[in-house]
Amino acid sequence: MNHFEFILVFNYSRTKFTILPFNSTATFFSLILNFFNKLIKECFLFNTNCLPFNCIFAIFNISNTLTIKKMKHKIIVINGPNLNLLGEREKDKYGNVTLKQIEKKCKEFGGKKDILVTFKQSNIEGKIVDFIQQSRKKFHGVVINAGGYTHTSVAIRDALAVLTIPIVELHITNIYNREDFRHKSLISNIARSIICGFGPQGYILALQGLKEIIKDENR
């Protein structure tokens, strides 16, 4: 996957050309050549004296509308049951930070790091499965904090197993330092990596780590 996308749009005289995104230098020069061929044909068809002006105008438009922009890494962060109560429940374990505050910090971080963050939460198992299925062709990676479903949901595990994009399993607390039933994760053996015990900061670590995984896979 190319991490740059090129967009060329230009207008001139009686004809409007719009060239869709392309991703190689060869394609770019081919499109430019095609443009000037059309430009010359129009000049001869409508006004043989307009060629110098139109050529200058076309070059000006090309220089002003050709943009090369970094493609953002699209990452979805999926949160499971009871995480909507962060900041209220078991503050000794989860702290005072709310899920909304975490979402805001993730998106602010993403804006600085060329990561387009989509944030989701549901208490319903089937809804989480829907989020996962919808991520297959829309995102480059998944961060999932499945909450209590981590230890019980075969459906969520199976939905994740279908994905060909990298997955990071995330937990705010250290699940291996809590009740025995939390030590078993149905997700871990299909996740690329696991982050747990870093509190809300774990979300930022997950985004940063997943971005690096995506970059490595597409080199």
Q: Tens of pLDDT along the chain (219 residues)?
A: 443 334 444 444 444 444 444 455 555 566 666 766 766 666 555 554 554 545 444 444 444 444 334 568 999 999 999 999 999 999 999 999 999 999 999 999 999 999 999 999 999 999 999 999 999 999 999 999 999 999 999 999 999 999 999 999 999 999 999 999 999 999 999 999 999 999 999 999 999 999 999 999 887
pLDDT at site 57: 44
Q: 106 and 117 in contact (C-beta within 8 Å)?
A: yes
94 is a catalytic site residue = yes
List CB contacts of 192: < 8 A, sequence separation 6 or more: 166, 167, 168, 210, 213
Q: What is the CATH number of domain 73-217?
A: 3.40.50.9100
Neighbours of 48 (CB within 10 A): 8
Name the residue ranges covered by the structural domains of the chain: 4-70, 73-217
Question: Considering 12, 140, 149, 171, which one is annotated as catalytic?
Answer: 171
Q: In the chain, at which residue ranges do the beta strands (DSSP E only) sit?
A: 4-12, 15-22, 67-70, 73-79, 115-121, 141-145, 167-171, 193-196
Strand pairing class (167-171; 193-196): parallel
Q: Which of 12, 94, 149, 203 is catalytic?
A: 94
* Catalytic residue status for 203: no
